[in-house]
């Protein structure tokens, strides 16, 4: 059987203006594969970086690395999933779509308490954040600095560090400070004078012993290495090319970086369980139709979305299980 659905692709390299919605045929899933009817797809900075001129990618570029949806069909050898199961998947290729085919190993069941939109924004950012918290050995009573704490990755890192009993100093624009304080962090504005502000914020907490960078600016890197004595407890998820010179950890995919495959794979189940029982909150600040992917990408590229952006399909809108479409 062949299925038909829409997908968002970058027809050429460039900015969000190159995004198109196309119709495509999707075959039955092969051995070990699962066909997922997508309800929501998470938007991540990687998505717009993947078709930027500097990417060197060959168009058309399929987009979308994480989805929440419902199993539509399974291939031979799929044991743990059946049609109708509500699932979350990461990493996938081509998740900005009505239908996506994924290997069964990237799937986890979506708990009933977790809306599809939140689930779609959980795993890519959450796995990176968990990797950073594990790599920097965040533990109870540690004072930890998180740069980019209002973003998808940083907000997860704040919550995961607080769950470990750490004290968190969190950098973000003032708009998001009240929100970060509610998560248990001490918020600090980024910008000139950051080092002094972090020192003041941490004065009553103790020495800053670890730092997680989800921003990559010179200001974030320099503040981290000025404060944290043990540079193995400073990690960047962004400035991978500067890490070796600073003696800090580079996490992700790039020369000399630690991809953290094991910890990120294990994160699927851990993050889903934490989100299901309310220990981990995914703040969705924008939900857009597939046709409006360019708008979502413009907002993501601005870098101040204040949480997760997601795309929602007609399937999700029909179920009513989504945040308001902006
Ligand atoms: N290496 C990996 O494995 C990996 C995995 C996932 C993501 N990443 C990367 O991590 C980065 C963050 O991803 P995300 O999903 O969290 O992005 P996001 O949701 O767009 O968040 C961006 C964050 O950056 C902050 N920010 C923007 N401009 C800033 C500036 N000039 N100075 C300081 N902070 C600034 C924002 O703070 P305000 O809005 O409060 O100003 C916000 O907290 C991206 O570059 C992404 O590609 C890497």
pLDDT band of 82, cuts 50, 70, 90: very high
Pocket perturbation via mutation, ligand 1, pick of 214, 267, 286 by most ligand atoms within 8 A of CB = 214
> Phi/psi of residue 273, each to 5°?
-65, -40
Instruction: Compute, in angstroms, the gap from residue 217 CA to the centroid of ligand 1.
Output: 10
Which atom belonging to ligand 1 lies closest to the Cα atom of 49?
47
Provide the pLDDT for residue 163: 98
Which atom belonging to ligand 1 lies closest to the Cα atom of 46?
47
Residue of minimum CA distance from atom 9 in ligand 1: 238
Provide the pLDDT for residue 326: 45
| Average pLDDT of span 265-283 | 97
- Residues 6+ positions from 99 with CB-CB distance below 8 Å: 3, 5, 26, 35, 36, 37, 38, 72
Residue of minimum CA distance from atom 24 in ligand 1: 148
Tokens of 69: 């949806």
Tokens of 248: 């800090």
| 105-111 contacts, C-beta under 8 A, 24 or more apart | 105/32, 106/268, 107/34, 107/36, 107/80, 107/81, 108/268, 108/269, 108/272, 109/85, 109/272, 110/68, 110/86, 110/272, 111/272, 111/273, 111/275, 111/276
Strand, coil or helix: 243: helix
Which atom belonging to ligand 1 lies closest to the Cα atom of 254?
1
- Answer yes or no: is pLDDT of 280 > 60: yes
Q: In this predicted model, what pLDDT tens digit does every residue of 126-178 receive, in sequence order?
A: 999 999 999 999 999 999 999 999 999 999 999 999 999 999 999 999 999 99
The total number of residues written for the chain in this structure: 326
User: What is the dihedral angle through the alpha carbons of 206, 195, 283, 310, rounded to the nearest 10 degrees?
Assistant: -140
Residue with tokens 């199993």: 71
Instruction: Give residue 37's Cα distance to chain centre.
Output: 21
| Average pLDDT of span 224-234 | 98
How much is the mean pLDDT over the chain? 96
pLDDT band of 40, cuts 50, 70, 90: very high
Provide the pLDDT for residue 322: 54
Q: In this predicted model, what pLDDT tens digit does every residue of 93-106 receive, in sequence order?
A: 999 999 999 999 99
Residue of minimum CA distance from atom 11 in ligand 1: 214
Residues in contact with ligand 1 by the CB-under-6-Å rule are 44-46, 125, 128, 148-154, 172-173, 176, 190, 214-215, 217, 237-238, 251-252, 300, 303-306
- Answer yes or no: is pLDDT of 33 > 80: yes
User: What is the dihedral angle through the alpha carbons of 235, 218, 155, 228, rounded to the nearest 10 degrees?
Assistant: 50
Distance CA 236, CA 53 (A): 24
Instruction: Give residue 2's Cα distance to chain centre.
Output: 31
List domains and CATH numbers for the chain.
2-122+282-319 (3.90.180.10), 127-261 (3.40.50.720)
- Answer yes or no: is pLDDT of 318 > 60: no
Instruction: Compute, in angstroms, the gap from residue 214 CA to the centroid of ligand 1.
Output: 5
pLDDT band of 311, cuts 50, 70, 90: very high
Instruction: Compute, in angstroms, the gap from residue 172 CA to the centroid of ligand 1.
Output: 10
| Average pLDDT of span 265-279 | 97
pLDDT band of 252, cuts 50, 70, 90: very high
Which atom belonging to ligand 1 lies closest to the Cα atom of 149?
43
| Average pLDDT of span 113-124 | 97
| Average pLDDT of span 223-229 | 98
Which atom belonging to ligand 1 lies closest to the Cα atom of 173?
40
222 within 8 A of 208, measured Cβ to Cβ: no
- Answer yes or no: is pLDDT of 320 > 70: no
Which atom belonging to ligand 1 lies closest to the Cα atom of 147?
34
85, with CB counted inside 10 A (0-12, 13-18, 19+), is: middle
CA distances from 294 to 50, 108, 198 (A): 14, 28, 36
Instruction: Compute, in angstroms, the gap from residue 303 CA to the centroid of ligand 1.
Output: 6
Q: Is the pTM value of this prediction over 0.75?
A: yes
Distance CA 284, CA 122 (A): 10
Tokens of 232: 């193995």
Distance CA 258, CA 201 (A): 31
User: What is the dihedral angle through the alpha carbons of 66, 41, 47, 89, rounded to the nearest 10 degrees?
Assistant: 10
Strand, coil or helix: 264: helix
Secondary element (H or E) of residue 199: helix 194-202
């Amino acid at each position: 059987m062949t299925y038909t659905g829409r997908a968002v692709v970058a027809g050429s390299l460039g900015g969000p203006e190159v995004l198109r919605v196309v119709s495509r045929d999707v075959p039955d899933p092969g051995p070990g594969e699962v066909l997922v009817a997508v309800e929501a797809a998470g938007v991540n900075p990687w998505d717009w970086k993947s078709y930027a001129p500097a990417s060197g990618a060959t168009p058309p570029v399929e987009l979308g690395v994480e989805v929440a949806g419902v199993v539509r069909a399974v291939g031979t050898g799929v044991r743990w999933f059946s049609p109708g199961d509500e699932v979350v998947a990461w990493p996938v290729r081509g998740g900005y779509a009505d239908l996506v085919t994924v290997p069964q190993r990237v799937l986890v069941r979506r708990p009933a308490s977790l809306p599809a939109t939140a689930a779609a924004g959980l795993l890519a950012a959450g796995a990176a954040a968990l990797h950073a918290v594990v790599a920097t050995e965040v533990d109870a009573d540690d004072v930890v600095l998180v740069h980019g704490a209002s973003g998808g990755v940083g907000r997860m890192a704040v919550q995961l560090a607080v769950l470990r009993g750490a004290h968190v100093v969190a950098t973000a624009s003032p708009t998001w400070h009240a929100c970060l304080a509610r998560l248990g962090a001490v918020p600090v504005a980024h910008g000139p004078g950051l080092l002094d502000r972090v020192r003041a914020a941490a004065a009553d907490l103790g020495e800053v012993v670890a730092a997680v960078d989800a921003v990559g600016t010179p200001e974030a890197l320099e503040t981290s290495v000025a404060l944290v004595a043990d540079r193995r407890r400073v990690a960047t998820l962004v400035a991978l090319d500067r890490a070796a010179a600073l003696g800090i950890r580079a996490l992700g995919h790039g020369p000399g970086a630690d991809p953290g495959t094991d910890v990120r794979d294990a994160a699927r189940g851990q993050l889903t369980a934490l989100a299901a029982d309310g220990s981990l909150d995914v703040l969705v600040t924008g939900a857009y139709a597939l046709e409006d992917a360019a708008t979502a990408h413009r907002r993501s590229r601005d870098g101040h979305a204040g949480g997760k952006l997601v795309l929602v399909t007609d399937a999700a809108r029909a179920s009513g299980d989504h945040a308001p479409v902006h």
